[in-house]
Amino acid sequence: MVEQSNITGVDVLLGSRLIPENIVRNQPDQLEGVLLQINGHKEAIPIEHRVADGHVSSITQNSSINLAWRSALVHVVYARAWLDETSTKEQQKLAKHITKQVEILQIMTGDCQLDAYMNEVDPNEPD
């Protein structure tokens, strides 16, 4: 028998980046190091998944609203959740941590500006 629950949502904040195929193929060791670094927190919710097989980048038509999807091979999401009773101070600390973790992904790419899936952008990161 499944226990009844009344969960209608969770408190969570996340940030993400679409990693271009050229970074995955040309900097695999650096990417691996960065993923290990951001996954190091025991309460983190890291998600890395492959988003395309590369075929979309060979299509000449503009087929997406976010052009980063055309070259992305991996989508990395970093999230942290908290309980309702978590203090505002602790929530702010978690928010800063998420921003720092997402910055690690950006630093890895040097001058290449990474994009994010629109509704998975860290709302606290600078423009």
**CB-based burial label for 15 (10 Å; 0-12, 13-18, 19+):** buried
For 11, 23, 56, 67, the CA distances from 63, given in Å and listed in that order, are 33, 22, 8, 8
Tens digit of each residue's pLDDT, the chain (127 residues): 556 666 678 898 988 888 888 888 999 998 888 888 887 666 767 777 777 665 666 666 766 667 777 778 888 888 888 999 999 999 999 999 999 988 888 877 666 667 776 677 788 887 6
Q: Which residues partner with 72 through β-bridges?
A: 20
pTM as predicted: 0.76
